[in-house]
Amino acid sequence: MLSAEMAAALNRHLNTELYSAQLYLSMSSYANFLGLKGAANWFMVQYQEEMVHFTRFYDYINSQGEHVRLGSLDAPPSEFASLLAMFQKTLEHETYITKCINELTELAVKERDHATQIFLQWFITEQIEEEENDRAIIGKLKLVGDNGYGLLMIDNELGTRVFTPPPATGQAP
Ligand code: OFO
């Protein structure tokens, strides 16, 4: 059972995960528009991962005898200055998501809501990986700068990313 405050906080974050999905869908389309098929694939996989995050919150809220409250979302940006700018925006957004997850966890600790603390643990680990991946890609993009060949090499690498559905909520990672 969730407190009213925790239910509201989880619902707010569920909507933020949906925004994350839209942001990466928009980036995927723009990368495709630039002819960067590998980056388009990378962001499409990211979109799929965000929908998993959204669904985890959806399932958890329902499992606690609550129901979700979907809100209206701001439109994500639809144009970006460069591939580097897209990944910088991605890292900035993921850093924000990490902060949100930390705040949710702090609320769960304050309320002694152990079930929600356990639920959020998966996201704490996930955010470490997300930020680390983004930093690695930003590093490579800065290294190649305007070199077209280098950019194509990175785009090819981004094209190898495959969506792997994570285990369902409640299963070991
Ligand atoms: Fe990108 O981790 Fe969810 O939002």
Burial status of residue 59 (CB atoms within 10 A of its CB: 0-12, 13-18, 19 or more): middle
Find the angle CA(40)-CA(14)-CA(100) to the nearest 5 degrees. Answer: 90
How many angstroms separate the alpha carbon of residue 93 from the centre of ligand 1? 8
Q: Is 50 in the pocket of ligand 1 (CB under 6 A)?
A: yes
How far lies 1's CA from each of 4, 23, 64, 131, in Å? Answer: 9, 32, 5, 32
Write down the pLDDT at residue 158.
98
Domains and CATH numbers, the chain: 4-158 (1.20.1260.10)
20 CA to middle of ligand 1, Å? 6
Q: What is the mean pLDDT of each run of 10 residues along the chain (173 residues)?
A: 97 98 98 98 98 98 97 97 98 98 98 98 97 98 96 98 79 46
pLDDT at 168: 63
Pocket flag, ligand 1, residue 134 (CB < 6 Å): no
Sign of the alpha-carbon torsion through 111, 114, 115, 121: positive
For ligand 1, say whether the CB of 21 is within 6 Å of any of its atoms: no
pTM: 0.94
Instruction: Convert 130-166 to b/e letters by CB count within 10 Å (16 or more is b).
Output: bbebbeebbebbeebeeeeeebeebbeebeebeeeee
| pLDDT recorded at residue 172 | 45
Indicate whether residue 53 lines ligand 1 (CB < 6 A): yes
What pLDDT is attached to residue 169? 60
Nearest Cα to 23, choosing from 39, 44, 54? Answer: 44
Distances (CA, A) of 26 to 47, 91, 101, 119: 9, 15, 23, 29
pLDDT given for residue 69 in this prediction: 97
Under 8 Å between Cβ of 6 and 116: yes
